[in-house]
Structure formats: C-alpha cells, structure tokens
Structure 1
C-alpha cells in the first residue's frame, strides 16, 4: 500500500478500486459501502453519527477510536466515497513533516479546483504534539476534513486543541455475531471452511474481536487445503490465538487494573480472579500484581481484617521463593482472601484526614504533660508535669488529653461495623465513655 512509505501520500478520487484477485482475503472482503461495515452500526446506521453526516452530505473532522481490526480504515475510505470527496491517507508510523506538507499542498490545490479532501491519518496518536498542532490551521480553514484513527485513548494521546476541532467516535470490539458475519462472507467467496461447527466457534473466539486477524486465520486455513474438517483441538494445534491487547504503558493496562481493584473492593472473587488472570496471562509482572494486592489490603480492608495484609505479604514471599508458575497459586490465594474479606476504608480515610490536618496545623507543640524532661530546666518549665501513666489507671486508661493546646481533639479514624473493626469500634466507644466520665470528675 502506498501509505506505508514515508515519501508518499496515497490519494484516490471518489470511487473505490477493485482489489486484485491475488490480494489478501481481508482486502477482497473490504466493504464497498458503509452499510456493509459489520459491528459498527451504532455509528454507520441511519441514527448514528456517521450515518447522519453522510445523509447530510457534509462531514466534520473526526477521530475514530477503537481496537485493531474493527474497520477504522474501511470507514474512512467509504466516507470519502459516500460524499464525493478526494481521499488522501498517510500513516503516522511512516510519515514525517515533509509528507504532511505535501498532503496539505495537494489538498490546497484540489480545493482551488473545487474538490474537497478527506485526509485519513492512521495511528494519529504517534505524531508528536508539535506535529499534531500542524494540522490545526488546515482543519480550521477547511483545507482538509481530518479523519484520524487511533487504538489509544485520545484524551491522553492527542492535543486538546486538536480534540476540540474533531468529534471522537468510538468503534466497538467486534462481537461473535459480527465476526461470524465476516466468516459467512469469506465462505461465500472461498467456500466452506474445513472446520466442525465447534471449531468454527473456537476460531471466532480466538480472534478476540479483531476482524482482520480472523480473516487472516481463515485465509491460512484455505491455503492449507485441509482434507477433513478440524475439531477445536486440532484447530488449536494448527493456528495460534490472537495475543491479548495489553500494553503496559497504555490505557488497556490501566483499565484492567481499575476493573480488578474494583472487583476486589466489591467482594466479587470470581471477577477479581478473571481480571487478575487477564493481566498475568498477557504478561504482567506478578510482583506488580502483588504490590496492588498489598495496597488493596490496606486501602479497602484495613482493620476490618488485619490478616489481609499478612496474607498478601506472605504471598509475595511465597512467589519469590517458588517463582513461576507454582508461585502464582499464592497470588491467587491472596486475591481470594482480599476479595472475600470484610471491607473497610476507615484506615485510608484516617490517613488522608490526618495528613491534611498535619499540613494545616504546622509546628504546634504537644502538651507539656506528655513531653519528656531529661534536664532540670525542662522540669522547671513544666515538661512532664501532671503526666498520667495509663498502666496505673483503672482499666489501663487515663483519659488524658494528648492534643496540642491550640486545637481540639479530632477524630480521623471511624471504624465500621464489619469484621474485626466492629470490636475496635466497641473499644473506642468504651474509652470515649470513660474519658467523658473522668473529665466530669
């Protein structure tokens, strides 16, 4: 394809070229009209954003955001054809400033001849901030209608100024019905796949929502000229599953962390195991998972079950001792313990409140009666005077005031009525009653 080369900008006039007979199956099955795009009817249908723009005959700049193999490039080409625009495409992976200048110059020339240009920018998030800013004047003047494609969250990867001039449209991961429709099209063109019904379902599942990957797998099966239909086990030996999308510094990584942590907090052990397995199967570092478990044990469980933190640290030791794959079982155990433990964020809230108070109150001195007095001068000025030794008091509790004189007693920690914190709450309430009684004496 022409847009794979850095010194080339691919352009076409309205109307789509027919693919060569020897083109890959995915190219030969590329949709010829928007209503042939599968799985994105929420955008391309009559009530969808794209459907409405095409019906009006006028496109606004847009960013197509979605997983690989969901039809972003096809939609961009079909949009230009649907409204009679000149189509130009560049790839941010292979293109630089010179290619952008060339694309804009050609669009200017086409505009003078009365031809509007749709500029499709694949992987637009790979352009740096300065390059993205370079689009702005041409988009504002209407030299080009920009259609960018990205697999990454535009909020993080694209300039705010560019986002303000483009509509973000979200493409969905292809579901089983949409992928099955693609296989139907392939079989109408190439004949039945050499698969049992169960193996066909397994092939769809192996694509993980990626239509291009599915068609490439189907093409491999056709090329092999298999004499008898394969069952799921035989298919698994013949083909590889699509590797799960999981970039450790990208949004998918943070989405799974968020989902996992919330499943733990929500006491759903099965969902917690599922998301944790997703991360580990995709190559996440087990020690990263363990660090997150330790955090959850303190943030979401705390003293409702003090053993949660112990379990997580023990799992860390067990994993470091056993390694993979045996050590993963200890991580599973800690995950299940945290998910099924009583929950409390009282310690977390106390942490935030006490830190905030410490910053606000600065360098206030503690009350003199709880200060040590190792010298005569310190004793003379009142250090340690009147200190009540709690072990000598009834119930081992003196009820003394330990707060600086400039501020009142504050309450940062409020235990919940769950798990071990129920007992802690009883103690605090009992001491509060004793303190009130002794203040009245």
Structure 2
C-alpha cells in the first residue's frame, strides 16, 4: 500500500509544522466545541459500545472533521487511511480497497476517511457500497455540503450523519488559551482578542493561523484592534451562491421580513451582499416577498419593490443596493397578508378539479344567431342596471357550488377589502343568491 494513502506507514523526518498541526488534539477529550457529538452524542455512544459504524461528518470548515476521524481510528484500533475526493480517481480507490481487503484478511480493520466526499459523483459513491457492506472499510466521509443534497441515498442509508457545529466564541477562546499554554501569551488587548475571534468566523483552523501570525510579530506591547485590522485580513464569510448557504440565507431574509423584523432583514441582506450575491437576484426575491407576504394588505408595496429594482438598474452599485434596502425595510414594516396567495392556490386546485366545466349559459357570449338560439347569454343581468350596481348572479359553473377562496385579513388595506367582501355577501343573501 502506498504511503500516499496509509498514514500508518513510516514517516520521513518532519520539517516545520504549522501551529494548527502542532496543536491537533491527541485524544477525543481534547476536541473543542463538539461536546454534544462526542460526549453524550452518537459518537460517544458508539465508542462506549465498542462498535463504530460508517459516518458522514457534516459541518463548516475548521471545526474538527479530519481530527475526529483520525482519533476515532485511534480509539478503535483501526488503520487510518485518508484520501481526498478532489485528487482521487477510480484507480486510486481500487488500490485503497485492495489494501483494506488484505488488512482485513490479516485481522486489521480500516477506517477510510474521505475528505470532500460530496465531490465524488453518484457512480463513484456507489463504489463504496460493497466494501461498506462486507466490513472491508468503515467509511467516514467529511463534507461541508448538505448530505441529503449531495450524497447517494444508498450511502446515506448505510452511514450515520453527524452534524458538527460552527465554533462559538467560547470554543474559540478555549483554543486561544491552548495556544498560550503551548506557545506564549498573545500580545493582544481584550478588544483585539475578541476581534481576532470575530475574524476567524467560527473556523478553528483559521483562528490558529491568525494566532500564529500574531505570535510571529514578536510584539512587546499589546496590539489594539486598529493595528490588528491593518496587519491581518478578515476571513471571507462562508457563502456559496449555488449551495446550501445561499438557500439558508435567503430563507433567513424572507422569514425576517415575514416576521416584521427590519433589523434582522437588513442584516441577512447585508450578509448576502458581502458574500457576493447578485443584487438582481435579491431584487427579484424582495419583489416576491411583496407579492407573497404583503399582498393586498399594502398594494403599493409591490410598486415600491419594482421601483427599487429599476433604481438599481439605473444607478448600479453601491447606491442601487440602498434602494433595495429601503424597499426591504418597507416590506418588513408593512402589514402582512397572504390571503391573496392562499386564495390563488385554492382557485388553482379547484380549476384542476373542475377544469372542463363550461361557464353558466347566462354569461356566455352570443355573437351569432345560433348561439342565441342555444340560450347563450339568456337571462344575463347587467349589473350597472341594478339599483345598487350588483346583480348577485352566479358566475361559477352550474355543476359547481359557490366557493369562497379569498378571505381578507383585518390588517392594512385589506380591512377595507374585507368590508367590501362582506357587503357583497350580504347583498347576495338579500337577493336570495347566496
């Protein structure tokens, strides 16, 4: 078996190692920030029982996926073999499986850690199945993408998905203390210390790399936030315009508007813009919010969104984004109603159920003599001729009972529409056509 894959093979003399590698936990008890998974969670239960099953470790970068996989192999006395889906082809996989079969014949098990497992196509993922089923390998896959979107159902059915959390501020502080115990005190003011944690954005590996840079400066006096900002770059926010993070953030934005929280809506809007989202996509989604969640409770909300969209097209960035932000704030504070949306869906359902029923004869057009002879238009009452401007006639198919789809809410402009709906219902009942 090539040393390229089997980390249990003899190693050559090591050169300089980065801080993140030197401080890699030696036991699972030293892993920071994943207690719910390791202590009383599924991994803890597996280790207590002495039976490790195949796993998918799903979480953002820098939260310990590789480290946990390596330590699981150590704890269960399995040979740890690591590959990356980015650099591994079918011939390489065949070598890995063949070597695992030989180990198994000699009484040793193999934990195969596959980094970025979601980058394997569906056929390649299927190649793991027979080796998982016969016990040749314990598969531990690592992914930053939602497994339910990216992995075969067959693989998921044979592996337990473990969700690793983004490291919070307390976990990051523990990590900095570990750095200081191992190396030296970080020359940072309290505010700068909080700032470096913010810069790492929940990524433990990024935090250790930043801390290593700070230590390399050899500063004699504590560094303040201004100096720190000049010397270090903010880690780019995690955002994939085509992946799950995209859908998570647009969901957060939409639900903040629906929940009438202008500040949260503005925050998620800013998060998406700083992540590189196309403002035109946001303009389209903001307009959708006006149609779907504001509706007729504030009819001008739709127009405001379209005007903001047009303003962006005319001004471009960055001023155009301000127009979109203003529309977003208007929507968040507008009265909410999905009554029109609910009515539309109900009418669509009814149309599919009764799609072949003709209109009642009295409202059919009768441009020819034959149509008139067939009764088209007979008995039609012209509403403008009625004293109150309302005939109350039936406009549904004769075979259909009258239905109510639109039920306005007691909010915003729909209060007035509700009064009109109730007024016409009362007139219809008085005319005996309810």
- TM-score calculated relative to the size of structure 2: 0.96
Secondary structure of 2:388 counterpart: helix
Larger mean CA deviation between 341-350 and 63-72 belongs to: 341-350
1:197 maps to 2:190: yes
Q: Are the equivalent residues in 1 in contact too, given 2:61–2:144 (CA < 8 A)?
A: yes
How many angstroms does 1:176 deviate by?
0.8
Give the corresponding residue for 1:103. 96
Question: Are residues 224 and 394 of structure 1, via their aligned partners in 2, closer, same or farther at CA, if it must alter by over 3 Å?
Answer: same
Q: Are the equivalent residues in 2 in contact too, given 1:319–1:328 (CA < 8 A)?
A: yes
Q: Are the equivalent residues in 2 in contact too, given 1:61–1:145 (CA < 8 A)?
A: yes
Distance 1:395 1:203 in 2: 72
1:90 maps to 2:83: yes
How many angstroms does 1:18 deviate by?
12
CA offset digits 1:192-242 (Å, max 9, x no partner):
223212111100011110001111112222233345432111111111111
Q: How does 1:23-172 map to 2 (within 5 A)?
A: 23-45=17-39, 47-172=40-165
Distance 1:372 1:148 in 2: 67
Distance 1:227 1:314 in 2: 56
Give the corresponding residue for 2:322. 329
How many angstroms does 1:440 deviate by?
6.8
Question: Are residues 18 and 61 of structure 1, via their aligned partners in 2, closer, same or farther at CA, if it must alter by over 3 Å?
Answer: farther
Distance 2:379 2:152 in 1: 64
1:375 maps to 2:371: no
Give the corresponding residue for 1:11. 7
Larger mean CA deviation between 139-148 and 400-409 belongs to: 400-409
Please, which runs of 5 or more residues in structure 1 have no aligned partner? none
Give the corresponding residue for 1:387. 380
Give the corresponding residue for 2:241. 248
Q: Tell me which stretches of 4 or more aligned residues in structure 1 moved more than 6 Å.
A: 16-19
Secondary structure of 2:7 counterpart: strand
Question: Are residues 20 and 197 of structure 1, via their aligned partners in 2, closer, same or farther at CA, if it must alter by over 3 Å?
Answer: farther
Distance 2:302 2:387 in 1: 34
CA offset digits 1:278-322 (Å, max 9, x no partner):
111111111111111111111111111111111111111111121
Q: How does 1:178-327 map to 2 (within 5 A)?
A: 178-327=171-320
Secondary structure of 1:11 counterpart: coil
Distance 2:87 2:225 in 1: 39
Distance 1:18 1:36 in 2: 27
Question: Are residues 225 and 440 of structure 1, via their aligned partners in 2, closer, same or farther at CA, if it must alter by over 3 Å?
Answer: closer
Q: Are the equivalent residues in 1 in contact too, given 2:31–2:64 (CA < 8 A)?
A: yes
Q: Are the equivalent residues in 1 in contact too, given 2:33–2:165 (CA < 8 A)?
A: yes
Aligned residue pairs: how many? 433
CA RMSD in angstroms, aligned pairs only: 1.9
Please, which runs of 5 or more residues in structure 2 have no aligned partner? none
Distance 1:395 1:289 in 2: 46
Secondary structure of 1:396 counterpart: coil
CA offset digits 1:105-156 (Å, max 9, x no partner):
1111111111111111111111111111111111111111111111111111
Distance 2:45 2:429 in 1: 70
Q: Are the equivalent residues in 2 in contact too, given 1:299–1:345 (CA < 8 A)?
A: yes
